[in-house]
Amino acid sequence: MDAEPPQRKAKERMVQVFESVELILYGAVGVLLVVIALVALAGEVDNIVSYFVNDTPIIGLNLLIAAIIALELLMIVVGYMKTRSINLGLLLGAGLTAMIRDILVFGYQPTDLQDFAVVLLATAVLVAALYFVGDKTIHT
């Protein structure tokens, strides 16, 4: 039997180390996305409780949609960790959700008209990308 050259073993070990580091970093991103979603949901619950207790207006769906975006990104990260592939439909959907959030809060938060035009353009580009790309998956 032929023994593997030491250089090949060293390269394989280095690749294993980088793959482990990548997995750890994606895990950390996933944990942070869970924290973001929980903070956004807690803020929205506080907002609704304040509505019932103090008769203040409900600020809106801003925090709730932020939680949805964080969960969509978490789905992308988990999917990548499981299959080493990225579903472009999910990725584009997360971006589209973020743009729709910006459109919904346009009248409530101070926004420059030029910024809003960019949001509308980005929304149109994302819709077109979803139409043309669809549900493709990229394998790494």
Q: In 3-state terms, what secondary structure has residue 85? A: strand
Report the C-alpha gap between 10 and 94 in whole angstroms: 40
Q: Does residue 18 register a pLDDT over 80?
A: yes
Instruction: Look at the chain and count its residues.
Output: 140
Q: Where are the domains of the chain?
A: 6-139
Q: Is 60 left (phi over 0), alpha (psi -120 to 50) or beta?
A: left
Q: Does residue 1 register a pLDDT over 60?
A: no
DSSP state at residue 61: S
**Predicted local confidence at residue 31, as pLDDT:** 95
> Under a CB-based contact definition with an 8 Å cutoff, are residues 76 and 102 in contact?
no
**Predicted local confidence at residue 3, as pLDDT:** 63
Q: Model confidence over 93-131: pLDDT tens digits? A: 999 999 998 888 777 777 788 988 999 999 999 999 999
Q: Model confidence over 34-92: pLDDT tens digits? A: 999 999 888 888 888 887 888 766 666 778 888 899 999 999 999 888 898 888 999 99
How many secondary structure helices (H) and strands (E) does the chain include?
4, 2
